[in-house]
């Protein structure tokens, strides 16, 4: 495990480092609570073994700061102290410590207590992994495999502010399947669903790593292309338009109409503005004959 030690006494710190390294752990030592807090921020330690009394920030203070910060990564905290009094243990637990060791720590006891830490951290890790899986599942449109609208809206704001920070453009492509109501009416809802699945598959083949594609509504899809200028996006959209048209389609050819809008890095438009603008362009594609890209 990666273990962070916070200990102001050099000899005690050295003893812990040697003992832990002999057990095969990766160890970083910091001389006080503030330094430990900084190390936790940049490092990957999952276990903190902290002294109680230290300059700048003491053990319980460090515990409280870690617990109130929360974060994705659980830090298992063992407080090391010569103080064994009941009141101290209560205070340590209230501050967020998981366990105690008395000073100087007995290596056998340290081994056993770290095994407990390992078990608890494994459970936390598994939960975090499953939560992430569930979040991804909840972000996907079940029919088409692209992202759903909720995730689209979350990602869009984030990607737009990121693009602004980097001084790069960002484009939004909206597409709407042409005459889809008639398709449903002629071939049934199941056949219509199959069209949406295939359009989704086309979109997933078409996107680059950094793009987000989503089902925006019934037969409407949206793609965010970070870094794409208006020309880039129009070219990409036209490639997608041609790919959708090419099919193969089982009942009759399917086409889609497109609208492209671009946020230039110096501008101040919002995602709502971009969607409105792409919608307007899409409407122009529809009005001028469909199976087109407008901007």
Binding site for ligand GH3 (CB under 6 A): 176-182, 184, 189, 192-193, 196, 218-219, 286, 290
Chosen residue from 76, 100, 180, 216 binding Mg ion by CB under 5 A: 180
Residue 119 binding: pick among ligand GH3, Mg ion, none (C-beta 5-8 Å cut-off by kind): none
**Residue 291 CA neighbour count, 13 Å, CB half:** 10
**C-beta of residue 221 within 8 angstroms of C-beta of residue 172:** no
Residue 8 in contact with Mg ion, rule: CB under 5 A? yes
For the CA atoms of 134, 139, 142, 147, the dihedral, rounded to the nearest 10 degrees, stands at: -150
Residue 176 near Mg ion by CB under 5 A? yes
Does the protein bind Mg ion through residue 183 (CB under 5 A)?
no
Q: Determine if 112 is a binding residue for Mg ion (CB under 5 A).
A: no
Residue 216: C-alpha distances to residues 7, 141, 171 (Å): 54, 10, 16
Structural tokens at position 220:
């409407």
Query: DSSP secondary structure string, 93-128?
Result: HHHT--EEEESSPPHHHHHHHHHHHHHHHHHHHHHH
CB of 223 to ligand GH3, least distance (A): 17
Query: Which of 39, 50, 51, 100 is in the footprint of Mg ion by CB under 5 A?
Result: 51
Q: Which residues of 255-289 are buried (b: 16+ CB within 10 A; e: fewer)?
A: bbbbbbbbbbeeeeeebeebbebbbebbeebbeee
264 binds, among ligand GH3, Mg ion, none (CB under 5 to 8 A by kind): none
Q: Is 219 a catalytic residue?
A: yes
Angle at alpha carbon of residue 253, lines to 248 and 255, rounded to 5°: 100
Q: Does 53 bind Mg ion (CB under 5 A)?
A: yes
Catalytic residue of the set 21, 26, 153, 219? 219
CB nearer to ligand GH3: pick between 71 and 218: 218
Q: Residue 8: name its binding partner from Mg ion, ligand GH3, none (Cβ under 5 to 8 Å by kind).
A: Mg ion
Residue with Cβ nearer ligand GH3 (31 or 192): 192
Question: 32 is in the binding site of which of Mg ion, ligand GH3, none (Cβ under 5 to 8 A by kind)?
Answer: none
| Active-site annotation, residues | 219
């Amino acid at each position: 495990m990666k273990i962070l030690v916070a200990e102001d006494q050099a000899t005690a710190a050295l003893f812990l480092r040697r003992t832990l390294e002999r057990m095969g752990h990766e160890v970083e030592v910091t001389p006080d609570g503030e330094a430990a807090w900084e190390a936790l921020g940049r490092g990957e330690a999952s276990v903190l073994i902290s002294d109680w009394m230290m300059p700048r920030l003491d053990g319980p203070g460090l515990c409280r700061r870690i617990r109130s910060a929360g974060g994705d990564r659980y830090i298992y905290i063992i407080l090391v102290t010569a103080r064994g009094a009941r009141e101290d243990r209560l205070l340590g637990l209230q501050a967020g410590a998981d366990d105690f060791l008395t000073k100087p720590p007995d290596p056998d006891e340290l081994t056993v207590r770290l095994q407990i830490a390992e078990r608890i951290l494994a459970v936390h890790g598994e939960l975090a992994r499953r939560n992430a899986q569930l979040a991804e599942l909840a972000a996907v449109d079940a029919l088409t495999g692209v992202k759903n609208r909720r995730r689209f809206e979350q990602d869009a704001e984030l990607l737009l502010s990121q693009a602004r920070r980097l001084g790069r453009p960002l484009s939004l492509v909206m597409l709407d399947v042409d005459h889809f109501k008639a398709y449903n009416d002629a071939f049934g809802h199941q056949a219509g669903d199959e069209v949406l699945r295939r359009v989704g598959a086309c979109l997933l083949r078409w996107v680059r790593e950094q793009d987000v594609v989503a089902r925006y509504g019934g037969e409407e899809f949206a793609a965010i292309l970070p870094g794409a200028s208006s020309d880039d996006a129009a070219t990409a959209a036209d490639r997608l338009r041609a790919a959708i048209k090419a099919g193969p389609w089982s009942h009759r050819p399917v086409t889609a109409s497109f609208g492209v809008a671009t946020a230039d890095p110096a501008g101040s438009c919002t995602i709502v503005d971009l969607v409105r603008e792409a919608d307007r362009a899409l409407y122009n594609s529809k009005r001028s004959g469909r199976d087109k890209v407008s901007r």
